[in-house]
Amino acid sequence: MTLTSQPDLDACAREPIHIPGAIQPHGALVALDMASLTPIWASQNFEARLSFPPEKALFENGALAPLAQAIRAWLPSRENTLRKTTPEVASTAFVHRSGDLAVIDFEPLSADATDELLSHLANFAPLLAARADIASALEATARFVGKTSGFDRAMIYRFDETWNGQVLAEWNSGALPSYLGLHFPADDIPAQARRLYALNRTRIIPTTDYLPVDLVSLHPQAVGPLDLSFSQVRSVSPVHLEYMRNMGTASSMSISIMVSGQLWGLLACHSREPHYVSPALRDACDFAVQSLAIRISSQRESENALHRARHASVHGHLIGAMSSAATWSEGLLRARKQLLSFVSAGGAAVIEEDTEIKTVGQTPPHSEIRRLVAWLCHRDDGDVVVTDQLSEIFNMEPPATDVASGMLALRVSEHHNSWLIWFRPEVVRTVTWGGRPHKTVAENGRIHPRQSFAAWQQQVHGKSAPWRSTEIEAARALRAAIINIVLKKAEELAQLSEELQRSNKELEAFSYSVSHDLRAPFRHIVGFAQLLREHAPELDEKSRHYLATITDSAMAAGRLVDDLLSFSQLGRTPIASRPVDMNKLVAEVVRSLQHPIEGRNIVWTIGELPPAVGDPGLLRQAWFNLIENAVKYTRRRTEARIEISGERVGDACSYAVCDNGVGFDMAYYGKLFGVFQRLQRVEDFEGTGIGLALTRRIIERHGGGIAATGEPDVGACFEFRLPVRPKGEKTLA
């Protein structure tokens, strides 16, 4: 949430606070060339503070020669800093590297008793260990640092994911107002200041009314401003000093809380009056704060371990569901309860290969999810997109913050536009800020901080509960598992396809061989039965009936063999595609059926049929099978009605044959196009049970599809579609 004007924020964020060109007056500074230890830079107060001018002789054989010797021994090491007491100038020296320079800060020599400090720390260690939770550990640390350092107020300030801060614990002597529980906006501590806090853990400002001491160059090698990122006496931004004065504080000390190498928060101390804390005392406070950081890290890792264990359990259940289902999406939808609990979501959407959107729980409308997926596909955010304030980056119409304020989206496939998206509902909360955050620009453009820190409340809408790092980590692991399952199933399907192709070829060859070999015996049976009837006129009526039955059965078996042979040959015959006049083709089929329907009352309704592209002979066979079935199954109607129609639908042509015959029960639809599957008794209607299977195979080899609807004793309607453009021959399974 941004509560300051963007120009102000940008100007504040650009302030080069690491190269102020000045230091605070409680210390002194000199920068030496690391090779020769020649002074390159020095603070203007160097001689006044140390009683010696910043000359090379001071480090060669003067009062700081022991320090120079220690620096030479330190330079080859990997240690970042060197600290050495220099009683010759009544100071403590802090040395750090800055490019090719060794920068030395000098602070007044401390008179603090080491034994007393060690005693304080020895007492703090068991005190921290005895705290049962993080909240009490924070309170104990704030109390210890506040009392040890002598400041009026010590508070622990934690950053959230957008760098806003909240005071979680505070110790207060009563001299300053309490800020416990208050929030502070991210621009109170801009990005470059947070970077310095991460680099240099401690900072002291003994008084806000100090006059900065400029750095002066002592050598031609002094080119460009000197980087003081690691300096203990670096001068701070005038904006920050004004901020402190507006808070009613005259001095401060801050110690960074680094958890797992990241800036977790700060322990900030303030006093109403100027107050200086010696390096030894600052070290003691820093030790306490870093002990707290270790406790926070340990607690967080313990919590993360518990979350990871829970995620692993649910992850295993989801993997099992996906592995046992036909597709990964089907498996996840079966385990809908686990899918939502996996990342504590209120709803989820599954989009596989840009097909139908399937949802679980509370989600936005499908139309908005489709828009969201299109938007995600055009972003370059990687394979995981996470936000707890979706409305800030994507506008839904109408707004859906009640179900989709937070989003965790996984791209499962780039090529097929497959996504798994979780949604979280809005969590309305009231945030109490330390003053209404804003900055104003005045005095020729200089930025000024707010003047009041009185509590100011804001109700925050459109945000969900934040996504835990372990939840995002678990989501990434699930994405990897989905991809592995998809690849495994693809391999299994490829292997199965090869096996099916081989089996189909073997079956086709077997069917062709059997059908071909059976045709001759059936012809012989029919032929010899006819000869027997002709050459034995003295046979009685019963014997003649037997011969007729043999003949009819053999002829029926012969037709079955012919159909089976046609079915097996269809998979081996290449398709010769060319433009086909469907009107002419249907007219030929209807004429060929005129003899069997003589004497029947059939009302034909044949509409204008769009042309097709395909094999004329195979398409004629498909039409013949469908129209012949319509004629056959309307036999019992006094007035049979058969309607043949067609139309262009997008990139396909649709054709239909409908009748008012016996129809069929849709409960048996799955058997309709199977080989040797009959929905009517053979005693009622003749047939081999192969015609519709043959028709479907013809249509599918042309790249189309066929479907049917029916109702018992009302009629049936068969519709097939063919692509407008010719398609290559399809492999049949």
Domains of the chain (ranges, CATH numbers)? 6-16+111-211+236-303 (3.30.450.40), 22-108 (3.30.450.20), 308-484 (3.30.450.270), 485-572 (1.10.287), 577-733 (3.30.565.10)
Task: Say which range, 375-389, 554-568, 640-654, has the weakest mean pLDDT.
Answer: 554-568
Contact 40/221 with Cβ under 8 angstroms? yes
Is 409:343 a contact under the CB 8 Å cutoff?
A: no
Q: Which helix (H) or strand (E) holds 467?
A: none
Mean pLDDT calculated for residue range 577-606? 87
**How confident is the model at residue 7, as a pLDDT?**
46
Handedness of CA 86, 90, 96, 98 (dihedral sign): negative
Helix (H) or strand (E) holding 207: none
Matching residue, tokens 């040395």: 95
Smallest Cα–Cα separation from 577: which of 545, 541, 619? 619
Answer with the residue of higher pLDDT: 618 or 487: 618
pLDDT in tens, 193-206: 999 999 999 999 99
**What are the pLDDT digits (tens) for 474-485?**
999 998 888 888
Question: Which DSSP string corresponds to 125-152?
Answer: HHHHHT-SSHHHHHHHHHHHHHHHHT-S
- pLDDT over 80 (residue 688): no
What is the phi-psi region of residue 279: left when phi exceeds 0, alpha when psi lies from -120 to 50, beta otherwise?
alpha
pTM: 0.63
Nearest in space to 467 (alpha carbons), one of 384, 407, 426:
407
Give yes or no for residue 461 having a pLDDT over 70. Answer: yes
Residue 545 has pLDDT above 90, yes or no: no
d(CA 156, CA 141): 9
Q: Which residues make Cβ contacts (< 8 Å) with residue 198, sequence separation at least 6? A: 256, 258, 262, 263
DSSP letter for each residue of 345-378: -SEEEEESTT--EEEEES---HHHHHHHHHHHHT
Output the six-digit token pair for 698.
């013809």
> For the chain, how big is the Rg over CA atoms in Å?
44
pLDDT of 548 > 90? The answer is: no
Backbone angles phi, psi at 139, to 5 degrees: -60, -40
Counting Cα atoms < 13 Å in the Cβ hemisphere of 556 gives 13
Q: Give the range with max mean pLDDT: 35-49, 286-300, 622-636, 672-686.
A: 35-49
Looking at residue 562, its pLDDT comes to: 57
Residue 101 is predicted with a pLDDT of 94
Phi, psi of 258 (to 5 degrees): -100, 120
| Mean pLDDT confidence for 706-733 | 75
Tens of pLDDT, residue by residue over 17-72, are 989 999 999 999 999 999 999 999 999 999 999 999 999 999 999 999 999 999 99
676 pLDDT above the threshold of 70: no
Average of per-residue pLDDT values in the chain: 83
Of 711, 605, 623, 708, residue with least CA distance to 661: 711
Would you state the pLDDT for residue 733? 28
Identify the pLDDT of residue 3: 38
Q: Can you tell me the distance from the alpha carbon of 377 to that of 711, in angstroms, rounded to the nearest whole number?
A: 45
Q: Binning pLDDT at 50, 70 and 90, where does residue 556 land? A: low
Mean per-residue pLDDT, 64-88: 93
Can you tell me the mean pLDDT for 142-152?
A: 94
